[in-house]
Amino acid sequence: MAKAKKYEGLFSIPAQDGNFTSAIGRLGDAELEEFLAELTAREIDEHCHKGRIKAVGKEIKTRSANSKEIIAVVKKDKEIIEADNIFGDGMAYELDRMENEIRFYQDQAGSALLEMGKRLIRIKAHEMHGDFMASLERLGIAARTAQYAMLAARKFSNAPALAHLETAKMKVLTVLADDDVEALEKGGEVNGKNLDAISAMSYREVCEYARKTSDALKKEKDTRKKDRETQEAAIAQKERKINELDQQLRYRQPPTKEQLALAELQKLNEPYTFCLARINAGIREAYNLVREAEKIKGVNLQQISEWLRAYP
């Protein structure tokens, strides 16, 4: 009844009347939903509110669409701030300047892909999708090339040594894990190759190297996942046995010393299992290091043996 009195004046105003449209526009979202529910209930008996129901539904739909637009604008603003803070140059964003600078870096070697990628990231953050694609078309950059450039910028911006690689090789190496990129940047080796060796390789060789490195990483992840699942299954089985033992002990009066000792012993199953897992992982890693040592150019068996004896 309270709802009926609240909206009583609106039940008799035609939906096409401007006063009706204005009145429902002043209602809050919750009030609008309540009014729609009341209209729907009355329509069952009175059969004269279809126009009003349609008008109220349209108002609700419009408000919902506006809310989505607001969310999209907020998300876009956040993307702009992030892109300007990370990849900006201290100057205000200008689309023409970004495109002219990209044209300059397209003609440069070495860090061109990274610099182009940084600017594409900013354009993508500031412009709508259609405008971003139009910018790529004006620049003559394929969408796939743009994706490679932006990925390279995110992946190699903190690795200046890798920025001296050829553009084609850098694109291929975007498949490397972040840890591997950091290792190469610091002069280390990844899958038996350092940065100098990769620079000397042909494009085809780099592609094969990247594929094998990516496959090895996937295999290692799969192995770790399988080991973790095996450990979890073993722990679950031990816990079931502990629970069964607890049930048995609960109904025995009194439990023997041996049973109590066994119950305490079972509590060590989980840490013992994890300890064995760490040992197995260490053995596997040590084995891989020995394999790497054997691949060192010029190394002989005696050197390997002495090296192993030095670290018992």
If asked whether residues 105 and 71 sit together in one domain, one would say no
* Number of domains observed in the structure of the chain: 3
Domain end position, chosen among 141, 157, 173 = 157
If asked whether residues 120 and 148 sit together in one domain, one would say yes
If asked whether residues 79 and 6 sit together in one domain, one would say yes
Domain contains 266: no
Where helices occur in 27-128 by DSSP H, the ranges are 29-46, 50-87, 95-106, 112-126
If asked whether residues 35 and 53 sit together in one domain, one would say yes
For residue 135, the model assigns a pLDDT of 93
Query: Which positions of the chain have pLDDT values less than 50?
Result: 1-3, 107, 109
If asked whether residues 54 and 74 sit together in one domain, one would say yes
**84: Cβ contacts below 8 Å, ≥ 6 apart:** 93, 122, 125
For residue 243, the model assigns a pLDDT of 75
For residue 106, the model assigns a pLDDT of 55
Report the SS3 class of residue 193: strand
CB atoms within 10 A of CB 13: 15
If asked whether residues 35 and 67 sit together in one domain, one would say yes
Domain contains 41: yes
Cα 137 to Cα 53, 107, 122, 145, 216, distances in angstroms: 47, 17, 16, 12, 38
For residue 290, the model assigns a pLDDT of 82
Domain contains 212: no
d(CA 13, CA 22): 11
If asked whether residues 95 and 143 sit together in one domain, one would say yes
Decide: 184 and 161 in contact? Cβ < 8 Å.
Answer: yes
Domain contains 238: no
For residue 67, the model assigns a pLDDT of 60
d(CA 296, CA 21): 82
Domain end position, chosen among 27, 57, 83 = 83
Cα 28 to Cα 23, 50, 82, 192, distances in angstroms: 11, 21, 35, 67
| pLDDT, tens digit (0-9, with 9 covering 90-100), for 237-278 | 777 777 777 766 566 566 678 877 888 888 888 888 888 888
If asked whether residues 73 and 108 sit together in one domain, one would say no
If asked whether residues 10 and 42 sit together in one domain, one would say yes
Domain contains 169: no
Residue 73: domain span: 2-83
For residue 110, the model assigns a pLDDT of 52
For residue 74, the model assigns a pLDDT of 63
